[in-house]
Amino acid sequence: MTSASPELVIFDSDGVLVDSEIIALTVLVQTASEEGISIRVEDAIRSFRGVKMADCVREIEHRLGRRVRDSFIDDVRRATALAFDAELKPIEGIHAALAEIDVPVCVASNGPMSKLTHALGLTKLLEHFEGRIFSAYEVGSWKPDPGLFLHAARTLGVHPSRCVVVEDSLSGVRAAKAAGMKVLGFTGGDSGAERELAEICDDLCHRMSDLPALLRME
């Protein structure tokens, strides 16, 4: 995939490290239903995966024709945290993959830091990334803007061209490409995601057990 091994592997969190997307989007859909709007989870996946919360709320308000309650985002965050406590699991194979990867790794996510550390802690992944977790809320730049990825690379002293990003959303892939980084699209075996990501990613990763070998390919 690359002309030489990368010097930094940047992971998205939701759907890449932790199996959180269906949980979080189900909570968002349920909270939206309390406002009087019906959204299917499948529609939420297409519309909201990898999208910052403020933009999700804007779209919900557009469909609703009015503003949501002031506590909407706080209610979503609170309910999501409780759902994570009950249901969250790591992506299958990620612990073994991280044990095999022998270059530095970090996390760069659109989520707030509290959500990231909570999710990574619950799934026993925090030790792999502690001190190298980058939140869009702290940087002030959300995917698909490349600023978050560029900040992570700059902070860790790696040129963007020597970074590989592992992403499952179009917004994340676009951010990585705009930052001048190689991108592995993680499909998790989802044929729909495969079709979507194949067009713009440098390569695809269908299972985390495949990731170390893909990173070593020259």
Bond before 144 cis per omega within 30 degrees: yes
Catalytic choice (12, 14, 19, 168):
12
At 116, list the tokens: 């990231």
Number of H helices, E strands in the chain: 12, 6
Instruction: Extract the tokens encoding 108.
Output: 């760069």
- Integer Cα distance of 74 and 72 in angstroms: 6
Decide if 12 is catalytic: yes
- Helix axes 72-87 and 53-64, enclosed angle (nearest 10): 120
* Cα distance between residue 182 and residue 164, in whole Å: 5
Q: Give the end-to-end CA distance of the chain in Å, rounded to a whole number.
A: 6
Residues with catalytic roles:
12
